Amino acid sequence: MKHMEKAPLMPTRVFVLVLMPILAVTLVPYYAFSVGFSAFDWSMGVLFAVITLHSISAGYHRLWSHKAYHAHFAVRLFYAIWGGCTIQNTILNWASDHRNHHKFVDDRDRDPYSASRGFWFSHMGWMIRDHKGGPDDFSNVKDLVRDPIVMWQHKYYIELVLVTNIALPLLIGYLFSTALGVFLLAGLLRLVVIHHFTFFINSLAHIWGSQPYSDGNSSRDNLILAVLTFGEGYHNYHHSFQGDYRNGIRWWHYDPTKWVLTVFSWIGLTSRLKRASQLQVEKARLEMQYKRALRQAEHLQEAARWCHHVEERYAQFLVALEEWATFKQEWYQSKKNELLATLERAELKQRYAELKKNVKFQRQEWHLLTAQLAAV
Ligand SMILES: [Zn+2]
Ligand SMILES: [Zn+2]
């Protein structure tokens, strides 16, 4: 058997990813018992955590990696500074890796944090060793190379990291509390906690959770991970619709990044927020349910009859969805048409209501059938 040599360790990364957590779990409790943290120290820790986590999610991920919306200069500058504070590499490196992750998801060699290489590799292992064997070529982030903020952050990354992680917490602590107290919580502990919350999206969100939109890759939707990452846990949706500025698409889905970006759009700080159409989303979900229902039906007695039943219901539901979506477009157009007679408008409205009712009916019938399959 050929001996597989391990890729060489990267010393700076070992320091940040291994030594810092050790320092955090020893120094923070030691300081808590020997000196004690004030409420101000804790509030700074939380504030730094919220700002940096949001900057990774809204900036590094949805803005730069996926171009899911446009943002005002001030917003981009803010995300560049505070995303850099998470010490997850520069925007350019992060986005390049992330675009490869989506393009080659689960591929052992080409997905930089491939979940098929196990929890540890996708969580941290990929960063600690030089698996690439050389610098990134940035050929998949040419658009970002043209962005002056991205390039400014790339050039002054180390300075930014040192100022935001060390100098600023020390200064805030020195002015309003104790320098070491704020540094340990807003600098050190916050950094380690945010690291692992973010890394969970590459590891756990490819292992643990549901797959409502696709089982073509290992990504999962997971509410707990969404809570820890301000909305990034709806990862199965995200891998199906990566250009969408939302990850949790229902209004009640816990996706604070989406809420902030929406509020920003009302005051002109963000614009051109991209969304997948409702039809695309509904079709993806239905197709997944259809695949599962067929798999279940194939194992039942009278499998052929059940399969036929599933196929028929699926086809009918699909037609109802498409008719409704097409008509919805027409109806919106007609609303803009001033010349349209009132009667004609009323007819269109009624037709739209009928189609919507049909979608509801087909959905109920579909759920009834899938419930029957599960009960047999
Ligand atoms: Zn992923
Ligand atoms: Zn992504």
Sign for the pseudo-dihedral over CA of 185, 187, 193, 197: positive
Q: Are residues 250 and 323 in the same domain?
A: no
Q: Are residues 262 and 285 in the same domain?
A: no
Q: Are residues 259 and 118 in the same domain?
A: yes
pLDDT digits (tens, 9 = 90+) for 246-273: 999 998 899 999 999 999 999 999 999 9
Question: Distance from the CA of 65 to the center of ligand 2, in angstroms?
Answer: 7
Q: Which of 271, 297, 323 is the last residue of a domain?
A: 271
Q: Are residues 25 and 160 in the same domain?
A: yes
Question: Distance from the CA of 165 to the center of ligand 2, in angstroms?
Answer: 25
Q: Is residue 125 part of a domain?
A: yes
Q: Is residue 5 part of a domain?
A: no
Question: Distance from the CA of 173 to the center of ligand 2, in angstroms?
Answer: 35
Question: Distance from the CA of 177 to the center of ligand 2, in angstroms?
Answer: 39
Sign for the pseudo-dihedral over CA of 106, 133, 164, 144: negative
Question: Distance from the CA of 60 to the center of ligand 2, in angstroms?
Answer: 9
Question: Distance from the CA of 218 to the center of ligand 1, in angstroms?
Answer: 8
Q: Nearest ligand to the C-alpha of residue 205? A: 1
Q: Which of 271, 298, 330 is the last residue of a domain?
A: 271
Question: Distance from the CA of 203 to the center of ligand 2, in angstroms?
Answer: 13
Q: Are residues 149 and 176 in the same domain?
A: yes
Q: How many residues can be counted in the chain?
A: 376
Question: Distance from the CA of 22 to the center of ligand 1, in angstroms?
Answer: 27
Question: Distance from the CA of 242 to the center of ligand 1, in angstroms?
Answer: 10
User: What is the DSSP-derived secondary structure letter of residue 178?
Assistant: -
Q: Is residue 3 part of a domain?
A: no
User: What is the DSSP-derived secondary structure letter of residue 300?
Assistant: S
Residue 217, domain extent: 11-271
Q: Are residues 26 and 114 in the same domain?
A: yes
User: What is the DSSP-derived secondary structure letter of residue 269?
Assistant: S
Helix 278-298 and helix 342-375, axial crossing angle in degrees, nearest 10: 30
Question: Distance from the CA of 43 to the center of ligand 2, in angstroms?
Answer: 30
Q: What amino acid is encoded at 309 in this protein?
A: H
Q: Is residue 261 part of a domain?
A: yes
Q: Are residues 143 and 126 in the same domain?
A: yes
Q: Is residue 1 part of a domain?
A: no
pLDDT digits (tens, 9 = 90+) for 178-204: 999 999 999 999 999 999 999 999 999
Q: Which of 245, 271, 297 is the last residue of a domain?
A: 271
Q: Are residues 82 and 33 in the same domain?
A: yes
CA-only gyration radius of the chain, Å: 25
Q: Is residue 4 part of a domain?
A: no
Sign for the pseudo-dihedral over CA of 224, 48, 154, 74: positive
Q: Are residues 288 and 258 in the same domain?
A: no
Q: Nearest ligand to the C-alpha of residue 241? A: 2
- Please tell me the total count of domains within the chain: 2
Question: Distance from the CA of 61 to the center of ligand 2, in angstroms?
Answer: 6
pLDDT digits (tens, 9 = 90+) for 346-363: 888 888 899 999 999 999
Question: Distance from the CA of 283 to the center of ligand 2, in angstroms?
Answer: 21
Q: Are residues 205 and 302 in the same domain?
A: no
- The tens-digit pLDDT sequence of the chain (376 residues) is 344 568 888 999 999 999 999 999 999 999 999 999 999 999 999 999 999 999 999 999 999 999 999 999 999 999 999 999 999 999 999 999 999 999 999 999 999 999 999 999 999 999 998 887 777 789 999 999 999 999 999 999 999 999 999 999 999 999 999 999 999 999 999 999 999 999 999 999 999 999 999 999 999 999 999 999 999 999 999 999 999 999 999 988 999 999 999 999 999 999 999 999 999 999 999 999 999 999 989 888 888 999 999 999 999 999 999 999 988 888 777 777 766 777 777 888 888 899 999 999 999 999 999 998 888 7
Q: Are residues 76 and 99 in the same domain?
A: yes
Q: Is residue 32 part of a domain?
A: yes
Sign for the pseudo-dihedral over CA of 47, 49, 52, 53: negative
Question: Distance from the CA of 57 to the center of ligand 2, in angstroms?
Answer: 9
CB 328 within 8 A of CB 366: no
Q: Are residues 18 and 156 in the same domain?
A: yes
Question: Distance from the CA of 96 to the center of ligand 1, in angstroms?
Answer: 14
